[in-house]
Amino acid sequence: MRLGIFGGTFDPVHNVHLFIAQTVAELEDLEKILFVPTDGHHYREKAHAPIEDRCAMVRAAISTNPLFEFDDTELRPDASGYTADLLPALRERRNDASFTFIIGADSLVNSDWIRFDEVLAALDRFVIAPRPGIAHEAVQRAIAAIDAPLRERVRTLNLPEFALSATLVRALLSRGQSVRYLVPDPVWEYIAQHDLYKA
pLDDT (tens digit, 9 = 90+) per residue, 75-100? 999 899 999 999 999 999 988 999 99
Tally of domains within the chain:
1
Cα gap 9→166, rounded to integer Å: 9
Is residue 130 one of the residues assigned to a domain?
yes
Say which amino acid occupies 57. Answer: M
pLDDT (tens digit, 9 = 90+) per residue, 178-188? 999 999 999 99
pLDDT (tens digit, 9 = 90+) per residue, 120-151? 999 999 999 999 999 999 999 999 999 999 99
The reported pLDDT for the residue numbered 38 is: 93
Is residue 175 one of the residues assigned to a domain?
no
The reported pLDDT for the residue numbered 41 is: 62
Tally the residues of the chain: 199
Q: How many CB atoms lie within 10 A of CB 176?
A: 8
Q: What is the 3-state secondary structure (H, E, C) of the chain?
A: CEEEEEEECCCCCCHHHHHHHHHHHHHCCCCEEEEEECCCCCCCCCCCCCHHHHHHHHHHHHCCCCCEEECCHHHCCCCCCCHHHHHHHHHHHCCCCEEEEEEEHHHHHHCCCCCHHHHHHCCCEEEEECCCCCCHHHHHHHHHCCCHHHHCCEEECCCCCCCCCHHHHHHHHHCCCCCECCECHHHHHHHHHHCCCCC
Is residue 114 one of the residues assigned to a domain?
yes
pLDDT (tens digit, 9 = 90+) per residue, 19-66? 999 999 999 999 999 999 998 666 567 899 999 999 999 999 999 999
Is residue 173 one of the residues assigned to a domain?
no
Cα gap 114→132, rounded to integer Å: 24
The reported pLDDT for the residue numbered 44 is: 61
Q: Cβ(49)–Cβ(197) under 8 Å?
A: yes
Cα gap 132→106, rounded to integer Å: 9
Is residue 176 one of the residues assigned to a domain?
no
Is residue 141 one of the residues assigned to a domain?
yes
Is residue 70 one of the residues assigned to a domain?
yes
Is residue 83 one of the residues assigned to a domain?
yes
* Residue 52 structural domain: 2-163
Q: What is the CATH number of the domain that holds 75?
A: 3.40.50.620
